[in-house]
Amino acid sequence: MFKYLETHLPKLVLAPTVIAMLVCMYGFIAWTAGLSFTKSRMLPQWEFVGLDQYARLFSNPRWQVALDNLFIFVFLFILVSLVLGLLLAIFLDQKVRAEGALRTIYLYPMAISFVVTGTAWKWILNPGLGIEKLVRDFGFTDFEFRWLVEQDMAIYTIVIAAVWQSSGFVMAMFLAGLRGVDDNLVKAAQIDGASKIQTYWHIILPMMKPVFFGAIVVLAHIAIKSFDLVQALTGGGPGYASDLPANFMYTFAFSRAQMGLGAASAMIMLCGVLAILVPYLYSELRTKRS
């Protein structure tokens, strides 16, 4: 009996998590999937209508906008955060003074939610109050920065604020990675006459591959769940030009009494997540362990 317990202890330890996961994640996903095939309006009603909600979803112009925005947002947000985070990390790794203070400054946005910073960001990006007005006050009267109020540019302001929030975290991840690089490798390369840029490009960056992967997963996770950001900054506007799928889903499920449609949009989002995650998991779990 004791023996049995001892050999199965690892599984027993995992059991509560596995049960919670099965119920609260996969159970609820299944529930949502079921809901997406019903005509549910204000609250769940189990009257099935097949793929109707999906057909409605894809004929809804607002969903198309949200989906297009998601692609723009995910791509730019991940790219810019990676580049900026990496650059800051490399610069910080040059034995600069006040590294601790600078690092904290880059990291702090991660600590605050957009419920808190939303208003400040709105002011900064607003042409009549923020950057545009300030630069014009300096004498550059033709200066324009009005993405927040332009229908086809508003989504880029969401990218800016999101990068501000998350790039510090990416910086920390890269900085940690760089600190793990063996100094002798760098010295050897420099003795061979490689310039600093060459050393980074050819030797250090390739070693950062796992960090890139880790950062992409974290960023993708943030990007797909981005909700507060849009709510606080643009409210989805002008019109619904800066809507993201998470906002679409929330609006339709909870304030528009179209729960079936909201559930269908959530299922499409989850399928998108699978597409990102499967390649990562494949490489992660195959190479890591026998």
Name the residue nearer to another protein (CB basis): 138 or 184: 138
Gyration radius from the chain CA atoms: 24
Task: Tell which one of 83, 137, 140, 201 touches another protein (CB under 8 A).
Answer: 137
Q: Which of 124, 144, 132, 149 is nearest to 235 (CA)?
A: 149
188 binds another protein (CB under 8 A): no
For the CB of residue 3, give the shortest distance to another protein in the complex, in Å. 11
Residue with tokens 């894809």: 58
- The packing angle between helices 259-288 and 28-35, to 10°, is 140
DSSP 73-101: HHHHHHHHHHHHHHHHHHHHTTT-TTHHH
236 binds another protein (CB under 8 A): yes
CB 239 within 8 A of CB 154: no
Q: Can you tell me whether residue 234 is helix, strand or coil?
A: coil
* Site track 150-179 with another protein (rule: CB under 8 A), x = hit: -x--x---------x---x---xx-xxx-x
85 binds another protein (CB under 8 A): no
- With CB under 8 A, what is the number of residues at the site for another protein? 123
Other beta carbons within 10 angstroms of residue 45's beta carbon come to 13
* Site track 249-288 with another protein (rule: CB under 8 A), x = hit: xxxxxxxxxx----x--x--xx--xx--x---x--xx--x
Task: Tell which one of 51, 83, 112, 188 touches another protein (CB under 8 A).
Answer: 112
Name the residue nearer to another protein (CB basis): 142 or 179: 179
